[in-house]
Each structure stands twice: as C-alpha cells, then as structure tokens.
C-alpha cells in the first residue's frame, strides 16, 4: 500500500498561495495571513499576476518563477485559472495541492466534467490534491493554519475531517471558548482526489490525534470506509455526524427491505459495523470527540457522581443509568471516609452530595481522590466546581460586608492553587468529566479546560460525555471473527435466476426464490407447487396437514390482504374451498404453492437491498405484517462475518424475543445468524438480484424457517 498522501500534504516546509493579494477581503489573503500570524515556521510564497509584494512578502507571477519547488500549493482563484496553474505546479514538481476554488461538481454536470479534467492533470504530474470547493487544513503540530480564521496554535489532541468547510474554520472561536483544541483538521470539499476515507486513515495513523471526528454528508465507497474504520476503532475512537438521511433522500423499494432501508438507517448500520460512534449534533461531535481524546479509557461501567446540588446530580445519574453506566452504592469504608467532609444530612452513598459548600478542595480533590483510589469506580462525574465566576456574580451583594471592596481585591482573596485537581485523571488512570454553569470566565472552568479535562455546560451533557467513553469501551471489546469467505456459486441457482431474467421477469416466484435460498443452506418451508386441485391435494397429503396455500406467480410480489393466501388448512375439503377462492381472487389459473403450516409466535424479517456505494446491504429485524410499522430492525453491509451477523441479532429493541419467552425456547442464534450471513453471500454471488425480502422468518421452537420469500430482479 502506498503511503497516505496527507502525510506529505499536511507537513509542508514551504507553501505557495495563488489567490493572496493586498485586498483584505479576499479568501486567499486571509489564508496567507493565517499562515503568517499563527506561527508557521516554514516559507510562504505569494503568487500574484500583477502585485510586486503581497502582505509584505515578495510576490511571484507564476509558480515557475519561484526560487524553489514548494512542498504545497494552495489555489483559490477563478475556476478558469485553476487548470493552467495546476499544470504549472506539475511542471516544477510540486506534488501536494489544495484547491479551494468552487464551481465544480457541486454545480452540476458541467462542473463534474471540469473536476474530471482537474484529476487528469493531477494524474499526469503525480499530484495529489484536497478539494476542490474546500476551506483548507490545520496542523497544530507545526502551527499551520490554512483557513480564514484565527487558530489556537497550541497543539491539540482531536483530529477532524469534514465535508463541510464551515466546521474546519468558522467554528474555531466556538472551540476556543470551550477549551477544545484540534490536532489536525482537513476540509475535504468535493473529494475529487483525496477523500474522507484517506483523511480518516491519516488521522488514524497520526499519533497526535487521540480521537477522530467526522462530519459526513455522503460516503461513496461503503466497503472501503468500513474496512478502513475497523482498523482504527479498536484502538482509537471515531465519532461521526451524518446529515444526509432525510426522508427526501430515502429509497422507495419494491420489498419491505427496500422501503425501510433509507439512507439515514443505512448509515446508522454501517457506523455500527465500522465501530464508529454516531452523534446527532455538531456540539456533540466536538464535545464527545474531545472527551475521548483527552480522558483515560473506561475500564468498566461503574461511575460515581459528586455534586453540591441534588438536581444536577440526579440528572447526571439518570442519564448515565439509562445509557448503561452503573452507579454502585459505595462500600461502608469509603462512605465513612467521605462523611468526614460532608454535612451530616448529606448523601455519601453515590451520588455524593456535599449540598451547598464553598470548600472547593473537598469537591475537586479530597472526595474525588477517595473515590478514585477506592477501586470501586471506573470513572467520575462532578457537577459544580467554581470560584472566580461565582464570586463575580455575588460581589455586588457581598461587597458591602467587605467594606465595599473592589472586585479585583475581592477575587484575590479567593485565589488558590488548582493544580492538585488537574492531575487526577492521569494520577489514577480514570476518566473525569465535569459540568459547570460557569464558562471560561471562572478560574476552575478555565483551568480544567486548559488541562485537557472536559467541562460541559449542563449535567445531562456531562453524563452523555461519559457515556461516549462507555460506547468506545464496548467497541474495543467487540467480538472479532475472521473475514467471511464467500462460498462457491450454485450453478442451479444461477440457472434459475438467468432463466427468469431471460424471460423478462421482474422477480422470482416464491417457489423459485425458496429454491435459491435452499441451495445456499437457508432453511425454508416444506412445499410443493401445484397447477391443479388434484396436485394440491396430493401435495398436502404428502406434506401433512395443516398446510398453507398461496398464489405463486412472479407478478404477485405481495399477497397479504388480497385473498391470495389461505392458512391453517386442516382437511381436503378446506383445501378445495381455499384453492378455488385464491384462483377467483387472482382471476386466472395461477399455480398454487402448498406448504407446511409453521407454528410459532415469533416472526422475523431478513432482507437485502442495494444503494450506490453500499452494495449489498443486509437487514434484520422483527417481521410479520407490522414490519414497516414497527421498524425494529438493523442494517449492515455484506459480506458479513459471523460476529457481524450475531451483532445484528442484539441490535434490535425486541432482542429479548430471541431469548426463552413465555414457554418458547431461546432461538437458535447460530442458525439465525447463518441466515443473515448467507443472504449476504447470495447477494454478492448474484448481482442480478435487486432486493430480497424474507418475511416472515418464523421461529418454530428454536429453529428459524423462511415462510415467505421475495427476490426482486434488476430491471
């Protein structure tokens, strides 16, 4: 594998900017000033067709006139000028470019052709580039800021790759106010050349970036994305916000599967498969990423809550408990230690509630140390450490009791060394997450943030910050199984599908569909196809009553509620009546499928559908006639490992139905996971199949059996 091009692009020793001028309102000028003002130590060369100097630096007319070949070129000029400039950089040997100029495929087909032309030039000269239509990069390790806003150049720990330039540049002041510092940031733009996956891989290899956050609008290669992420997530947490899954973008399918597996649901599944933690706001993307980047990993799920107020402590505890964290009652010994430092009426059990208390050492050092060294917790949540911010608020009321002392003199009396509180997470190797209603104008908030300890502005947010560490603990401990080996293609299954396609069928009839499934080892009902009443009676006798009858024709894709199914037929007389009724409902002499009548109260659905870049997707969930109403299902991208398939069984809300339930035995999870995995193999081996819907898959006792099957063919 070739080295990731971002290792070179992100670490230039010299940069040439085309688009910088002496006009302060130009984007290129702002980017050049960011390079100069934010501490970059390398060389900067402005290129301008007419100016002799740009922002105090000698300017050059063309790349060919530069005194050396720059490591990195940045282009932010009108689109017509981009192509000759890319050629110029190619001729002088520059191999890394950032193209900020817009007007490419984001504007339509003509722009897409221009983007292809840009790639052709780059390929000819061996250039790799970020963009077009992007906002630049950040590398705090070398104080490099190629965006338009001021950057806190102190080295950070959180790596960002974003398909929106806004989140790389406009949020820099927002992050600064919250003590969040980026290690590296890449605005990927249109991803004509270097894409989000390469950016994620680069951040995965970057030792400075201890956690990764992704802002995603679309992924074009699902298999490559999952493969890359799964190499990173067991060791380094990745968080993602995906915003492209509105109903407007949902796919309408012919099967239940296609109808349910819209883009948002699709990304939900592939993030889980990849081990990526999904968030639903940009605030959580930064805050949870920062928490994971800065704090020691959770080793268990036991946490303690320390608070000076019952309300916030209860809110923290509630959210933590709902998310899977445990708040164990502290041992008598630990409680006895704590009681020395809290009022007699206060709680020492967990949460530890100091009630109103101005002794900050008790809240931030003494009690946290008792808890952290106890061996009874794996992480600590604290609400309320504050001092200078609080004193600023109460000074107008208290000043008269201090001889009308000035605010500055008042604050001096409460200054103290906060460093003992700041070392606790690393002293005990346990994560610490805080909540304060005070911002950085308070000395405690400022100190915690400056020492890489996250401070949230609401108790629920702090608890969710701790929960993100639990989610990554679960990902680190996931069961791993070898990559799936696709079985050989069945010649008989291939012939069934090929013949149907040749006849212009839009789907296989149910009998043919189940035959294909059976050829790959998926359990289906015992059944026979009958074209006459006598054949149906003979089939029912051979199978054994009770039986079910169904109209069987590829053009009848959905039969429920249309009089095309008769269930629980116990006698030949009932069979004759049902046979005639189904044919009347159809309107012609359709073949009738006679199948065993399965017993079992638990119905599941397994399906397959395809999306561009995500092909094929496998769905598992609760089935039956309410499948689309309940929507209790999950999705993954095939091929599936055994662990992937087993994980899907536990990913639905109704997973308890797979356990022993009301006298019914626990489902044979191995057999059920096998159906899920094998359906992925079928989809990979037979790309002519557009959708598959196995609904219901009935648990007969412990054993799953496919009772109905629809295989839709590509048009």
Per-residue pLDDT band at 414 (split at 50, 70, 90): confident
Is residue 250 within 8 Å of residue 263, measured between CB atoms? yes
Would you say domain 602-713 falls under CATH 2.60.40.420?
A: no
Query: Pick from 81, 80, 35: which is nearest to 62 by CA?
Result: 81
Per-residue pLDDT band at 153 (split at 50, 70, 90): confident
b/e code 610-630 from CB counts within 10 Å (16+ = b): bbeebbbbbbbbbbbeebeeb
Per-residue pLDDT band at 403 (split at 50, 70, 90): confident
Which tens digits make up the pLDDT trace of 587-608? 999 999 999 999 888 999 999 9
b/e code 401-419 from CB counts within 10 Å (16+ = b): eeeebeeeebbeeeeeebe
**pLDDT(249) > 80:** no
Query: Pick from 371, 448, 552, 494: which is nearest to 179 by CA?
Result: 448
Is residue 86 within 8 Å of residue 127, measured between CB atoms? yes
From residue 626, how far is each of 175, 560, 603, 649 by CA, in Å?
A: 45, 11, 10, 19
The answer for residues whose C-beta is within 8 angstroms of residue 661's C-beta and 6 or more apart is 602
**pLDDT score for 262:** 58
- The CATH classification of domain 295-476, taken from the options 3.40.50.970, 3.90.1150.10, 3.40.50.300, 3.40.50.261: 3.40.50.261
Per-residue pLDDT band at 1 (split at 50, 70, 90): very low
Which tens digits make up the pLDDT trace of 317-349? 999 999 999 999 999 999 999 999 999 989 999
**pLDDT score for 373:** 97
| pLDDT, greater one: 366 or 262 | 366
> To which residue do tokens 């706001």 refer?
281
Domains of the chain: which residue ranges? 295-476, 526-597, 602-713
Query: Pick from 303, 319, 399: which is nearest to 352 by CA?
Result: 303
**pLDDT score for 251:** 44
Is residue 499 within 8 Å of residue 418, measured between CB atoms? no
**pLDDT score for 243:** 87
Query: Pick from 389, 388, 392, 416: which is nearest to 406 by CA?
Result: 392
Cα–Cα distance measured from residue 460 to residue 435, given in angstroms and rounded to the nearest whole number: 9
In this prediction, residues 101-124 reach a mean pLDDT of 94
**pLDDT score for 2:** 58
Which tens digits make up the pLDDT trace of 439-477? 999 999 999 999 999 999 999 999 999 999 999 999 999
**pLDDT score for 395:** 83
First to last CA, the chain: 38
Which tens digits make up the pLDDT trace of 76-101? 999 999 999 999 999 999 999 999 99
CATH assignment, 526-597: 3.30.1490.20
**pLDDT score for 557:** 85
In this prediction, residues 191-200 reach a mean pLDDT of 97
Per-residue pLDDT band at 661 (split at 50, 70, 90): confident
**pLDDT(45) > 60:** yes
**pLDDT(625) > 80:** no
**602-713 has the same fold as 526-597:** no
**pLDDT(675) > 60:** yes
**pLDDT score for 232:** 98
Which tens digits make up the pLDDT trace of 689-699? 999 999 999 99
């Amino acid at each position: 594998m070739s080295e990731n091009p971002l290792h070179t692009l992100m670490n230039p020793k010299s940069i040439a900017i085309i688009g910088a001028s002496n006009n302060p309102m130009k984007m290129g000028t702002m980017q050049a000033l960011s390079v100069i003002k934010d501490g970059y130590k390398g060389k900067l060369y402005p290129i301008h067709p007419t100016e002799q100097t740009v922002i105090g630096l000698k300017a050059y007319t063309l790349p060919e006139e530069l005194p050396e070949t720059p490591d990195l070129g940045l282009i932010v000029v009108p689109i017509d000028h981009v192509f000759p400039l890319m050629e110029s950089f190619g001729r002088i040997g520059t191999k890394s470019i950032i193209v900020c100029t817009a007007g490419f495929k984001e504007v339509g087909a003509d722009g897409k052709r221009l983007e292809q032309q840009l790639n052709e030039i780059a390929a000819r000269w061996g250039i790799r580039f970020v963009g077009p239509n992007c906002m630049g990069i950040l590398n705090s390790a070398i104080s490099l800021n190629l965006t338009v806003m001021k950057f806190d150049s102190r080295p950070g720990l959180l790596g960002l790759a974003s398909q929106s330039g806004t989140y790389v540049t406009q949020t820099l002041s927002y992050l600064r106010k919250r003590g969040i510092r980026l290690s590296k940031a890449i605005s990927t733009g249109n991803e004509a050349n270097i894409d989000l996956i390469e950016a994620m891989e680069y951040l995965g290899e970057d030792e400075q970036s201890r956690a990764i956050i992704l802002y995603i609008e679309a992924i074009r290669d699902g298999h490559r994305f999952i493969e890359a992420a799964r190499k990173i997530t067991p060791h380094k947490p990745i968080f993602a916000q995906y915003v492209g899954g509105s109903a407007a973008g949902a796919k309408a399918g012919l099967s239940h599967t296609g109808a349910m597996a819209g883009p948002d649901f699709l990304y939900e599944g592939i993030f889980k498969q990849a081990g990526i933690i999904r968030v639903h706001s940009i605030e959580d993307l930064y805050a949870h990423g920062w928490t994971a980047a800065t704090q020691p990993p959770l080793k268990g799920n036991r946490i303690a809550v320390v608070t000076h107020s019952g309300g916030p402590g209860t809110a923290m505890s509630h959210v933590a408990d709902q998310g899977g964290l445990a708040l164990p009652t502290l041992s008598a010994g630990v409680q006895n230690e704590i009681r020395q430092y809290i009022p007699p009426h206060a709680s020492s059990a967990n949460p530890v509630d100091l009630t109103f208390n101005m002794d900050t050492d008790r809240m931030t050092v003494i009690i946290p140390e008792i808890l952290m060294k106890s061996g009874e917790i794996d992480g600590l949540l604290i609400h309320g450490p504050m001092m200078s911010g609080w004193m600023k608020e109460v000074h107008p009321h208290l000043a008269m009791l201090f001889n009308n002392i000035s605010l500055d003199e008042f604050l001096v009396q409460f200054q103290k060394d906060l460093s003992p509180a700041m070392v606790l997470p690393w002293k005990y190797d346990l994560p610490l997450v805080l909540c304060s209603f005070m911002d950085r104008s308070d000395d405690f908030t400022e100190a915690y943030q400056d020492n890489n300890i996250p401070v949230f502005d609401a108790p629920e947010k702090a608890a969710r910050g701790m929960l993100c560490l639990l989610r990554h603990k679960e990902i680190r401990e996931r069961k791993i199984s070898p990559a799936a080996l696709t079985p050989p293609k069945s010649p008989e299954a291939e012939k069934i599908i090929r013949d149907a396609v040749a006849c212009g069928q839009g789907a296989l009839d149910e009998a043919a569909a189940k035959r294909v499934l059976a050829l790959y080892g998926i359990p289906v009902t015992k059944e026979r196809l009958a074209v006459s009443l006598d054949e149906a009676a003979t089939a029912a006798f051979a199978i054994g009553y009770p039986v079910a009858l169904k109209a069987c024709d590829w053009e009848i894709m959905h039969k429920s509620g249309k009089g095309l199914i008769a269930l629980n037929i116990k006698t030949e007389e009932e069979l004759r009546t049902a046979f005639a009724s189904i044919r009347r409902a159809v309107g012609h002499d359709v073949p009738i499928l006679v199948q065993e009548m399965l017993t079992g109260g638990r119905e599941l659905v397994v399906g397959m559908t395809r999306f561009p870049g995500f092909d094929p997707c496998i769905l598992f969930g609760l089935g039956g006639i309410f499948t689309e109403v309940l929507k209790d299902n999950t999705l993954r991208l095939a091929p599936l490992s055994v662990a992937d398939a087993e994980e899907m069984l536990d990913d639905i809300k109704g997973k308890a139905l797979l356990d022993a339930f009301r006298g019914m035995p626990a489902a044979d999870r191995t057999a059920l996971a096998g159906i899920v995995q094998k359906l992925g193999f079928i989809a990979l081996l037979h790309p002519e199949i557009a959708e598959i819907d196995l609904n219901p898959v009935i648990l007969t006792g412990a054993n799953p059996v496919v009772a109905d099957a629809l295989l839709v063919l590509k048009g």
